[in-house]
């Protein structure tokens, strides 16, 4: 007889199996906590952006930036540089940090809902590092000059809000998770047929109908509030002055649960 001073192979295998089982149980919960932390950080970013936009409008006669002009200089990324100090981190949702192309215009991977737009190089106002991000502005809030009766892709500017001082500002989107730096949603825009098809057409609601936060995107509103917005809810918000909030993709407009693409049917109806 002698005293055993180690583990047998069987005992080691049992311990390893128990550890593996515990990891398999805990990993999904840890991933959920990690994603929740990124969601909270994203809302914190957007809250900071409401401060930047508020400061900008206070300094510019209560109006937003023009959003049009040569070389993007009047778009929010450059117009608000003095307020956010050109920090690329705050231009990005923590779930979407990697731009879809590099500084040479080469694709960095497959474009999906967790991609950042950019990198823009050589545009007026952008330095050697370029510009990228994964948030976008509601183009209908901007303040183009009277000579610009239409903007990108022919959107008419007579419906623009131009200022945060409007009735029902808490229902007017300002800034949000997006696949482009600006969007002009319309009531008749159709949802993307698959999760990764948000960029396939010029229907701008698709570019924010992205499942970054478990069926929601994070959004700032004209009253400077920040909350999550359901993907189907996007069609019910006050995007511009005459936007039909009971359009064909709303419950009030008669949409049926089976009308939505398969990947969206599990989400809450509005």
pLDDT at 231: 98
Q: What is the pLDDT of residues 211-239, one digit of tens each?
A: 999 999 999 999 999 999 999 999 999 99
Q: pLDDT grade, residue 26 (50/70/90)?
A: low
Say if CB 156 and CB 149 are below 8 A apart. Answer: yes
pLDDT at 108: 80
% of the chain beyond a pLDDT of 90: 69
For residue 3, is it within any domain? no
Write out the DSSP string of 65-113.
----SGGGTTSHHHHTHHHHTT-GGGGS-TT--SBSB-TTS-B-S---T
In DSSP terms, which residues pair with 102 in a beta bridge?
none
pLDDT at 33: 66
Q: pLDDT grade, residue 127 (50/70/90)?
A: confident
For residue 24, pLDDT beyond 80:
no
Q: Classify residue 168 as left (phi > 0), alpha (psi -120 to 50) or beta.
A: left
For residue 225, is it within any domain? yes
- Comparing 106 with 124, which gets the higher pLDDT? 106
Mean pLDDT of 153-174: 95
Domain count, the chain: 1
For residue 270, is it within any domain? no
- 206 φ, ψ (degrees, to nearest 5): -60, -30
Residue 47 DSSP SS3: helix
**What pairing do the DSSP bridges indicate for beta strands 173-177 and 182-183?**
unpaired
Supply 241's token pair.
């002055």
Say if CB 226 and CB 218 are below 8 A apart. Answer: yes
Say if CB 210 and CB 198 are below 8 A apart. Answer: yes
Mean pLDDT of 142-160: 92
End-to-end alpha-carbon separation of the chain, Å? 76
| Residue 162 C-alpha from the chain's centroid | 21
pLDDT at 124: 66
Measured CA to CA, the distance from residue 10 to residue 227 in angstroms comes to 53
pLDDT at 1: 52
Annotate 187-221 with three-state secondary structure: CCCCCCCCCCCCCCCCCHHHHCCCCCCCCEEEEEE
> 220 lies in which domain range?
9-264
Mean pLDDT of 59-82: 91
Q: Supply the mean pLDDT for the chain.
A: 90
DSSP label of 115: P
For residue 4, is it within any domain? no
Measured CA to CA, the distance from residue 252 to residue 153 in angstroms comes to 29
Measured CA to CA, the distance from residue 50 to residue 67 in angstroms comes to 17
Q: What is the pLDDT of residues 237-253, one digit of tens each?
A: 999 999 999 999 999 99
pLDDT at 229: 98
- Comparing 197 with 219, which gets the higher pLDDT? 219
Give kind and range of the element (H or E) at residue 118.
Answer: strand 117-120
Give kind and range of the element (H or E) at residue 39.
Answer: helix 9-59
For residue 227, is it within any domain? yes
For residue 84, is it within any domain? yes
For residue 221, is it within any domain? yes
Supply 18's token pair.
């128990």
Measured CA to CA, the distance from residue 2 to residue 17 in angstroms comes to 28
Mean pLDDT of 133-148: 96
What's the sign of the alpha-carbon dihedral 160, 44, 265, 246? Answer: negative
Q: What is the pLDDT of residues 72-123, one digit of tens each?
A: 789 999 999 999 998 999 999 999 999 988 887 788 877 889 999 989 887 6
Q: pLDDT grade, residue 10 (50/70/90)?
A: confident
For residue 269, is it within any domain? no
């Amino acid at each position: 007889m002698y005293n055993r001073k180690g583990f047998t192979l069987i005992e080691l295998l049992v311990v390893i199996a128990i550890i593996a089982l515990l990891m398999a149980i805990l990993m999904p919960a840890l991933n959920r906590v990690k994603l929740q932390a990124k969601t909270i950080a994203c809302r914190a970013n957007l809250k900071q952006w409401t401060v930047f936009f508020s400061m900008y409008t206070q300094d510019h006669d209560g109006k937003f930036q023009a959003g049009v002009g040569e070389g993007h200089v009047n778009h929010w990324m450059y117009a608000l540089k003095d307020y956010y100090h050109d920090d690329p981190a705050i231009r990005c949702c923590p779930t979407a940090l990697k731009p879809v192309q590099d500084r040479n215009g080469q694709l960095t991977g497959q474009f999906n809902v967790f991609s950042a737009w950019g990198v823009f190089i050589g545009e007026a106002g952008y330095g050697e590092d370029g510009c990228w991000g994964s948030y976008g502005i509601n183009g209908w809030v901007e303040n183009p000059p009277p000579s610009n009766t239409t903007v990108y892709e022919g959107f008419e500017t007579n419906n623009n809000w131009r200022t945060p001082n409007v009735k029902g500002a808490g229902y007017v989107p300002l800034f949000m998770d997006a696949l482009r730096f600006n969007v002009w949603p319309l009531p008749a825009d159709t949802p993307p047929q698959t999760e990764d098809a948000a960029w396939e057409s010029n229907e701008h609601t698709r570019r924010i109908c992205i499942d970054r936060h478990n069926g929601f995107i994070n959004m700032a509103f004209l009253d400077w509030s920040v909350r999550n917005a359901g993907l189907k809810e996007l069609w019910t918000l006050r995007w511009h002055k005459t936007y039909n909030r009971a359009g064909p993709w709303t419950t009030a407009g008669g949409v049926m649960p089976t009308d939505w693409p398969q990947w969206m049917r599990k989400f809450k109806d509005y």
